[in-house]
């Protein structure tokens, strides 16, 4: 007989048919006559109840049906006599696939703290919460590819190992094949990278944007979706050293088109999850974050507030509230300022544009006022900045001037500059942190709980 998944069985309408089920035991209840075994196989958040008449099964077998064990059951799918489920399986045969010693199996029937489950990341997929989170993570990954594919974007795989460290997006992990006990040195005593694998210093990427621009300036619209690495010693619930990022980049596209895309994209992803992950979202709404569904619907149904940095600074200076950090034109906004704008003042997502050039990256399009650049940050409730992007500077001389001012080595980025030399066009793009998106959509408050195996300072188990 072909195995049916729990998802299939719960949707199956042919009562009294014979079925084969395989899965992991979540709980076992019962009395001296009958055992109720909840089986979950991860295909859906719900478990299915297997009913075993104890007279029909040897005691030695039933003793091995413990929380965490894997079993195979054949039997009839029947209407449940009890409350709490519509259907259940009346077991005819039970086989143990894998034992699970209840003395040492870490997961109990009862709920665990997220901290404890993080230390058991290899097993936490077997819990309702993490099953839901990682099914949603998959759905979002798929929806992202679908969204861009349906709109004529091409997925571009930008390199994970990069020779350039000019992007200025934080500390990088070095990539080397040197024996660390005997690193080659030149006559001056410096590390001799000509001896290293690539013949030059290399790092793990902090962004695929610069390479993404090269693709967009030929294919019109591209997006990257890959791992990204930051060696910053950040210890917060919103940072990991290895995370996934989506970076669309569009030629013939200005900052307004860019904002339109960002807003439409985020709303599409929320709608996709609401449409395809109802059970998981309902569980999370009930157990993790009671305001989740309401917040998702609200964000989906209301236009994002669009304001310039300068307007935001004015609002903050007039705010009837004391901030720990002062507000002044030219200073970057602090987390408390962003949260005030999103959660108190506008009470909806906010897109801020036209930031002071001094606090933004070299490649951003310079405005005519000589003071601001066409940057754009999308700010969300609870998690803050979810998207950062800009229109890019496509004029060669302006770009070169800015690079000199900011001491970005032009020779290292000669290939980037050539796109401005040969057929340059207006273009824009942004970066979306995949895990931050998942946090927002699942209501999980720690980024370590939305990536299967988080990498953080002093932590790379599993």
Binding residues among 129-158 for RNA as defined by CB under 7 A: none
Would you give the DSSP letter of residue 124? G
Q: Which of residues 169-188 bind RNA (CB under 7 A)?
A: 169-170
Stretch that binds RNA, among 81-89, 215-223, 308-316, 409-417 (CB under 7 A): 81-89
Q: Which of 149, 186, 235, 344 binds RNA (CB under 7 A)?
A: 235
Q: Which of 70, 72, 234, 367 binds RNA (CB under 7 A)?
A: 234
Stretch that binds RNA, among 134-142, 229-237, 257-265, 273-281 (CB under 7 A): 229-237
Distance CA 449, CA 284 (A): 13
Distance CA 220, CA 264 (A): 19
* C-alpha distances in Å from residue 7, one per residue of 21, 43, 48, 281: 11, 6, 9, 16
CB of 274: closest distance to RNA in angstroms? 22
Phi, psi of 439 (to 5 degrees): -60, -45
**SS3 (DSSP) at 416:** helix
213 belongs to the binding site for RNA (CB under 7 A): no
63 belongs to the binding site for RNA (CB under 7 A): yes
* C-alpha distances in Å from residue 423, one per residue of 158, 250, 265, 273, 420: 22, 15, 29, 40, 7
Distance CA 165, CA 382 (A): 31
Calculate the CA 234 to chain-centre distance.
Answer: 17
445 belongs to the binding site for RNA (CB under 7 A): yes
Size of the site for RNA (CB under 7 A): 72
Beta strands 87-98; 202-204: pairing state: unpaired
CB of 11: closest distance to RNA in angstroms? 19
Q: Which of 124, 126, 135, 238 binds RNA (CB under 7 A)?
A: 238
Q: Which of 4, 40, 66, 127 binds RNA (CB under 7 A)?
A: 66
CB of 187: closest distance to RNA in angstroms? 33
Contacts of 108 (CB under 8 A, 6+ apart): 67
Beta strands 70-79; 87-98: pairing state: antiparallel
Q: Which of 230, 295, 392, 402 binds RNA (CB under 7 A)?
A: 230
Q: Which of 1, 13, 60, 83 binds RNA (CB under 7 A)?
A: 83
67 belongs to the binding site for RNA (CB under 7 A): yes
458 belongs to the binding site for RNA (CB under 7 A): yes
Strands (E) in 199-241, as ranges, are 202-204, 221-229
Two tokens at 12? 């199956």
270 belongs to the binding site for RNA (CB under 7 A): no
Nearer to RNA, 76 or 276 (CB): 76
Nearer to RNA, 196 or 247 (CB): 247
Q: Which of residues 274-333 bind RNA (CB under 7 A)?
A: 325, 332
237 belongs to the binding site for RNA (CB under 7 A): yes
Q: Which of residues 354-383 bind RNA (CB under 7 A)?
A: none
Two tokens at 177? 């094949």
CB of 188: closest distance to RNA in angstroms? 29
CB of 201: closest distance to RNA in angstroms? 20
Nearer to RNA, 36 or 125 (CB): 36
Nearer to RNA, 386 or 424 (CB): 386
Distance CA 143, CA 90 (A): 38
Stretch that binds RNA, among 138-146, 175-183, 238-246, 348-356 (CB under 7 A): 238-246
33 belongs to the binding site for RNA (CB under 7 A): yes
Contact 261, 252 (CB under 8 A): no
64 belongs to the binding site for RNA (CB under 7 A): no
30 belongs to the binding site for RNA (CB under 7 A): yes
Contacts 24+ apart (CB under 8 A), 11-20: 12/77, 12/87, 14/77, 15/77, 15/78, 15/79, 15/87, 16/76, 16/77, 16/78, 17/76, 17/77, 18/74, 18/75, 18/76, 18/92, 19/74, 19/75, 19/76, 19/77, 19/89, 20/72, 20/73, 20/74
**425 exposure class (CB count in 10 Å sphere: 0-12, 13-18, 19+):** middle
Distance CA 137, CA 434 (A): 9
CB of 319: closest distance to RNA in angstroms? 16
Nearer to RNA, 80 or 310 (CB): 80
CB of 72: closest distance to RNA in angstroms? 20
CB of 185: closest distance to RNA in angstroms? 27
Distance CA 54, CA 60 (A): 11
Nearer to RNA, 207 or 221 (CB): 207
Q: Which of 207, 221, 258, 372 binds RNA (CB under 7 A)?
A: 207
In the block, tokens 């049916």 appear at: 4
**SS3 (DSSP) at 9:** helix
Nearer to RNA, 387 or 441 (CB): 387
In the block, tokens 């944007």 appear at: 209
Q: Which of 85, 256, 367, 401 binds RNA (CB under 7 A)?
A: 85
455 belongs to the binding site for RNA (CB under 7 A): no
Nearer to RNA, 118 or 151 (CB): 118
């Amino acid at each position: 007989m072909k195995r049916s998944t729990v998802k299939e069985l719960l949707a199956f309408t042919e009562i009294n048919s014979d079925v084969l089920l395989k899965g992991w035991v979540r709980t076992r209840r019962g009395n001296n006559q009958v055992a109720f075994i909840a089986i979950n196989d991860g295909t859906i958040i719900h478990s299915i109840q297997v009913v075993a008449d104890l007279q029909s099964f040897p005691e030695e077998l039933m003793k091995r049906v413990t929380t965490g064990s894997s079993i195979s059951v054949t039997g009839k799918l029947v209407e449940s006599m009890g409350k709490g489920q519509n259907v259940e399986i009346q077991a005819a045969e039970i086989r143990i696939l894998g034992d699970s010693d209840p003395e040492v199996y870490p997961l109990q029937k009862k709920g665990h703290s997220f901290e404890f489950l993080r230390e058991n990341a290899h097993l936490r997929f077997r819990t309702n919460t993490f099953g839901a989170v990682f099914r949603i993570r998959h759905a979002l990954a798929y929806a992202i590819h679908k969204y861009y594919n349906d709109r004529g974007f091409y997925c571009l795989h930008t390199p994970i190992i990069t020779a350039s460290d000019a992007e200025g997006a934080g500390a990088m992990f070095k990539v080397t094949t040197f024996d660390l006990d005997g690193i080659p040195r030149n006559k001056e005593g410096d590390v001799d990278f000509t001896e290293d694998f690539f013949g030059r210093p290399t790092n793990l990427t902090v962004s695929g944007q610069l390479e993404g621009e090269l693709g967009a300036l030929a294919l019109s619209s591209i997006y990257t979706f890959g791992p990204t690495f930051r060696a910053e010693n950040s210890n917060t619930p919103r940072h990991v050293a290895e995370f996934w990022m989506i970076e669309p980049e569009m030629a013939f596209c200005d900052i307004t088109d860019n904002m339109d895309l960002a807003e439409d994209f985020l709303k599409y992803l929320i709608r996709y999850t609401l449409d395809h992950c109802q059970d998981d979202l309902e569980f999370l709404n009930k157990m993790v974050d009671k305001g989740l569904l309401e917040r998702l619907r609200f964000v989906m149904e209301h236009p994002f507030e669009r304001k310039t940095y300068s307007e935001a600074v004015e609002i903050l200076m007039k705010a009837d509230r004391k901030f720990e950090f002062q507000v002044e034109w030219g200073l970057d906004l602090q987390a408390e300022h962003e949260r005030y704008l999103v959660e108190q003042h506008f009470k909806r997502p906010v897109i801020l544009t036209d930031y002071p050039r001094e606090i933004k990256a070299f490649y951003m399009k310079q405005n005519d006022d000589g003071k601001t650049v066409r940057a754009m940050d999308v700010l969300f409730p609870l998690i803050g900045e979810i998207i950062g992007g800009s229109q890019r500077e496509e004029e060669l001389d302006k770009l070169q001037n800015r690079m000199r001012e900011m001491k970005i080595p032009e020779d290292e980025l000669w290939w980037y500059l050539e796109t401005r030399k040969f057929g340059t066009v207006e273009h824009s793009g942004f970066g979306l942190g995949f895990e931050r998106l998942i946090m927002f959509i699942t209501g999980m408050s720690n980024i370590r709980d939305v990536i299967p195996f988080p990498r953080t300072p002093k932590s790379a188990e599993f």
